């Protein structure tokens, strides 16, 4: 059974800090997703990756397939980055398994 573990569960930081959220999974995957959920519920997809690194603005996602690990980085964090960040993996049977999320709070 594939497990998806995220760390930390909660993170509070000052505006401008460099943020790292980690995700580990236990079995082979077809793709890994990073999702963002703001208060109010809506979820948006930030990244989908199966190898290497992707960058979008101040957000960077990396994945190490051998180590079964991914990180989401936020540079120059801002209060509007405050949200829940969710890691999800698509396994080889086409099922998506979600981590429990990391609640990020950026203080002004």
Footprint on this chain of other proteins (rule: CB under 8 A): 30-31, 33, 35, 40-45, 48, 50, 86, 88, 90, 94-96, 98-101
Least distance (Å) from other proteins to the CB of residue 66?
19
DSSP class of 2: -
Contact 75, 51 (CB under 8 A): no
Least distance (Å) from other proteins to the CB of residue 14?
26
In terms of CB distance, is 21 or 99 closer to other proteins?
A: 99
53 closest CA partner among 69, 68, 64, 67: 64
In terms of CB distance, is 19 or 34 closer to other proteins?
A: 34
Three-state secondary-structure class, residue 64: strand
CA separation for the pair 102, 52 (Å, rounded)? 22
In terms of CB distance, is 35 or 77 closer to other proteins?
A: 35
């Amino acid at each position: 059974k594939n497990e998806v573990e995220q760390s930390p569960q909660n993170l509070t930081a000052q505006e401008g800090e460099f943020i790292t959220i980690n995700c580990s999974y236990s079995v082979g995957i077809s793709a890994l997703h990073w999702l963002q959920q703001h208060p109010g519920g809506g979820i948006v997809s930030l990244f989908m990756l199966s190898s290497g690194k992707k960058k979008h603005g101040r957000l960077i996602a990396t994945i190490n397939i051998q180590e079964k690990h991914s990180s989401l980085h936020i540079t120059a964090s801002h209060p509007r980055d405050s949200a829940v960040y969710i890691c999800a993996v698509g396994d080889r049977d086409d099922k998506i398994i979600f981590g429990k999320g990391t609640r990020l709070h950026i203080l002004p």
